[in-house]
Structure 1
């Protein structure tokens, strides 16, 4: 009887050790809830030269764990037809063409120029309903961590100009995906999820 008791006690201890080891391995395999977000994008100007001028179809925004996103949808854009852009922080947004100041809310202003007019270059028909000095149509920034305001600047000489008010001068990146120009602005310089 004593041998069975000792054997059962040894098995119980081994099982507890195995459960502890398995629990630790499982915890190590789980990603940390406070994983770091990428913020190495910098805050300097970013630009690309256009291959063609296709019409702007829409501007939309989205919220992510680490950044807020603005997407410019270009009608007929493909991976082969590069869309030009220039994105940079400015002290004041001045409307292309008129030179008038456009007030933009927030702690810092990103001026975004995309080589896609808000009209069809072939027909002159409007393709995006932006109005100078007004917020972007259909864009609601309620609940965003970084984005604070949007203003349509103009569509002048084949480019569309937008002012994006952000909380502060934060790192951002710009990239293209088929018929889209994407602008991501981080929530902070040292963001965590």
Structure 2
């Protein structure tokens, strides 16, 4: 009986000494962005001049360069990326698609193109990226320019703007590698 009592005491003591594991794990790379649509309204006439991508340790990045102040934007997951003006569907590789619309044209005041990609269905080579699968140009219509991103899955993303260099600015979209 004494042995049984001692065994129970030791077992209970072990539970009191071993720390409990947290109910939820810490977020991946500290990312707490979420995957719901993000937007900021503001129409600008500053033209889009370039689209770039980059790889980082915790996310893949898309940058839209604007010659002036970035207008507003709308970024969100969609069933399929659609072309501005026509509504033509643009399929993208991956398990999910992000539509990025910046409230800036990709043409100047004389309607001359300021951004005209050689291959609208492959704006940048994203092979080897952990999250991006394809980046497509969805056009520019009535002061709005859209880019589609085919991503591995519906993952958290953030959107922000940066000033510079000079009088230029940038719209930045980061998509996490995982939750």
Q: TM-score, normalised by structure 1?
A: 0.72
2:88 to 100, 107, 132: 100
What secondary structure, in the 3-state scheme, does the structure 1 residue paired with 2:106 have?
coil
Answering whether residue 32 of structure 2 is matched by residue 40 of structure 1, we say yes
Structure 2, unpaired ranges of 5+: 1-26, 164-168
In the superposition, relative to structure 1, how do residues 153 and 132 fare at CA in structure 2: closer, same or farther (>3 Å)? farther
| Preserved CA contact (<8 Å) 1:39 1:188 | no
Q: State how far apart, in whole Å, the 2-side matches of 1:73 and 1:66 are.
A: 22
1:68 to 60, 75, 80: 60
When the two structures are aligned, how many residues end up with a matched partner?
148
Matches within 5 A, 1:61-140: 61-77=53-69, 82-120=70-108, 122-130=109-117, 134-136=121-123, 139-140=124-125
2:146 to 133, 155, 161: 161
Q: What residue number does 2:22 align with?
A: none
1:101 deviates by: 1.2
Q: TM-score, normalised by structure 2?
A: 0.78
Q: What residue number does 2:177 align with?
A: 187
Q: State how far apart, in whole Å, the 1-side matches of 2:135 and 2:42 are.
A: 24
Q: What residue number does 1:21 align with?
A: none
1:38-92 per-residue CA deviation (whole Å, 9 max, x = no partner) reads 2210000000111522100100001000000000000123xxxx52100000011
Q: State how far apart, in whole Å, the 2-side matches of 1:133 and 1:67 are.
A: 23
